[in-house]
A = this chain, B = another copy of it.
């Protein structure tokens, strides 16, 4: 502090000299200082507050009205028109982004027969058609007709016209079919009627085919989707419940991504699998029907009464079949014919990408994605999310164009194409830009359906994002009850006891239900999926009742799902706050220490449920215990390093180096050789799908499950040992990246 001594001289001239020195030192910026203020740019709470204030419920409502006014099935003209809407918004000179583009992929989609529509009939022994299921939903609001409402079908089910006796197969799980077989029911050549839920869509057909079933029907039972209600009066448009004619569509493809270009972007020049040999399609014709039609089929079945757990709310005893009872609506030997005329087509499907260039670290990307394509009008799925996306991008774009704000890091908004067919647009994007995204992506925020219902936030994510979701939601008021934050409301509905924090809201883990899947499983990017959702004490519906049907127009949301759009606004604020915190905070708000609790919990589950059995096969969990401890130790030390840096005056590279450690941790859990080839894209050793019943590390759980339940013997136990090694190496490798960077 040389200048203090100079001032202490107390001579006039010296004082003036000193004053000059002071002025020169403090009042005049040096040339070298110029970039400094931008280099240390941090989250600006005023900007954050401005964004929160400007996110407008009525604008979201208007977005939704426009987005959902017509059906916008992937690659349809209306879907392409929405691409232009998004481009226009993102290129708006007043409220647009820095740039926007709409690259298309050429992908394999599946559509129902047009000249020969799919049809399910009951056929008498003489070949007479006794009954036909509806080929479209009832036109209740004037929105269920028209050429753009795709008739109900199961995408990627093969064409064919199987005919046979009907059996009821509950949810079509492997266990369900075994059960039928055990009861002496001959499944060969039958048509199996199944209800949604339990097994995945495609799995119903895969399981059925294993037992020789010739065709599969699927319907949503009012017990599963409507809390038991089934009358026209009690359903849409009189309530949010599914009308009797509503049919849930869906993709029955077993993998995600374009079916013909696994691991390669579906560009016109890319190598294509032979569609006849490509794996993952349902093996037998499959068709969905409404519960009104299902009732006619099911309530006429003969045979044993199905187990209690197989019963539903169609108002009759569900019997197993095969075939119809003689005292019912059809002659006893009548069969069911399932005529499926689905066709595969290569179609162009676009993603829309909008970019806000980062001011300081443009090579760090925060991605925010929502899919654009719907099955029909898709007001809830996905346009509730698209409406939020557009409002958030408008508010941020406006600040950007005014020159008020530019984020520290780059923001990429994405409107994905063909999600409904299997997360295709997002997956192709991750395949095309694999290296770039893996090197540079801070996190992926997914908002698919933004609002299922008005009760509470629901969030799923990898552990490092928990802290930023908590921080954001603590600052945002819940749409109701008044006075509570989103966080405080959330914790009332879903919570857990955290060893580190006490009672906290439960962050779920990510499956593969939306576009986050390729980001987390293929790229190893910290990801989250957020939505506003139900009070589970008030409904047991599997999902919102009109999901994937023609009864999901604007009015459904406006009248039932979120009147006033307060929950949509809350979602825009939550997603916006998380986005800004990730893009603008000097220190990345990713807490790597929060990986510790799931690791511990997986470890304990393994010790308690598998330890003894493993010991019998001379497999020790000791190295895994050590690896978890090393991880915890390294994460705790890094956390202290973060705190120390935050208190000090770190140089920009110190912060960048730390942020790189935080950003890249999730990548260290990737191992493209960990899982079998059939688990396409899965490489995250913590969050890949788990088939075993023990809630532990997936590779270990699955290998143990196979070793215990099959007679494969030592080879299967060797695989358990291999999976354990893969896990230990991943955790030790992860811990190594958290240690001080010049250590090995």
Q: Which residues of B contact A226 (CB under 8 A)?
A: none
Confirm or deny: A3 has a beta carbon within 8 angstroms of a beta carbon on chain B. yes
* Residue among A99, A431, A653 with max Cβ neighbours from chain B (10 Å): A653
Q: Are A736 and B436 neighbours in the complex by a CB distance under 8 Å?
A: yes
A672 at the interface (CB under 8 A from B): yes
A247-264 vs B, CB cutoff 8 Å, 1 = contact: the mask equals 000000000000000011
- 20 A-B contact pairs sorted by A residue (CB < 8 Å): A17-B19, A20-B23, A22-B24, A24-B26, A30-B30, A31-B649, A32-B33, A39-B653, A264-B725, A267-B623, A267-B728, A270-B728, A271-B718, A271-B724, A355-B744, A361-B653, A433-B736, A436-B733, A652-B653, A653-B653
Known contacts A653-B39, A733-B433: A16-B20 contact under CB 8 Å:
yes
Q: Once the chains bind, are B32 and A36 in contact (CB under 8 Å)? A: yes
Q: Which B residues are CB-close (under 8 A) to A12?
A: 13
Closest Cβ of chain B to A664, distance in Å, is 5
| Main SS class of interface, A | helix
**Docked-complex contact A440 and B673, CB < 8 angstroms:** no
Please give me the 9 A-B residue pairs with the lowest Cβ-Cβ distance, nearest first: A20-B20, A24-B24, A21-B24, A363-B741, A269-B623, A24-B25, A435-B668, A17-B20, A271-B725
CA distance A318 to B729 in the complex (A): 53
Contacts of A412 in B (CB 8 A): 744
Cβ contacts A555-570/B at 8 Å (1 or 0 each): 0000000000000000
Q: How far is the CB of A723 from chain B (nearest CB, A)?
A: 8
Copies in the complex: 2
One digit per residue, 1 when the CB lies within 8 angstroms of any chain B CB and 0 when it does not, for chain A 200-242 equals 0000000000000000000000000000000000000000000
- Asked if A381 lies at the interface with its beta carbon under 8 angstroms from chain B, I say no
- Contact across chains for A363 and B742 when beta carbons are under 8 A apart: yes
Q: Which residue of B lies closest to A728 (CB)?
A: B269
CA distance A439 to B665 in the complex (A): 10
Cβ of A499 < 8 Å from any Cβ of B? Answer: no
A110 to chain B, nearest CB (A): 23
Q: Once the chains are docked, how many angstroms separate the CA of A726 from the CA of B262?
A: 11
Nearest residue (CB) in B for A35 is B651
Asked if B660 and A363 make an inter-chain contact with CB atoms under 8 angstroms apart, the answer reads: yes
Which residues of B lie under 8 Å from residue A728 when comparing CB positions?
267, 269-270
Q: Given known contacts A18-B20, A20-B24, A271-B718, is B742 in contact with A360 (CB within 8 Å)? A: no
Are B28 and A28 touching (Cβ within 8 A)? no
How far is it, in angstroms, between the C-alpha of A651 and the C-alpha of B623 when the chains are bound?
A: 45
Q: Could you give, for residues 352-374 of chain A, a 1 whenever the CB lies within 8 Å of some chain B CB and a 0 otherwise? A: 01010110111100000000000
Q: In the complex, what distance in Å separates the CA atom of A672 from the CA atom of B440?
A: 20
Q: Are B3 and A729 closer than 8 Å at their CB atoms?
A: no
Question: Are the C-beta atoms of A733 and B23 separated by less than 8 Å?
Answer: no
CB <8 Å contact, A98 and B360: no
Known contacts A21-B23, A363-B660; is-contact A729 B265 (Cβ 8 Å): yes
List A638-671 residues whose CB lies under 8 Å from chain B: 649, 651-653, 656-657, 660-661, 664, 667-668
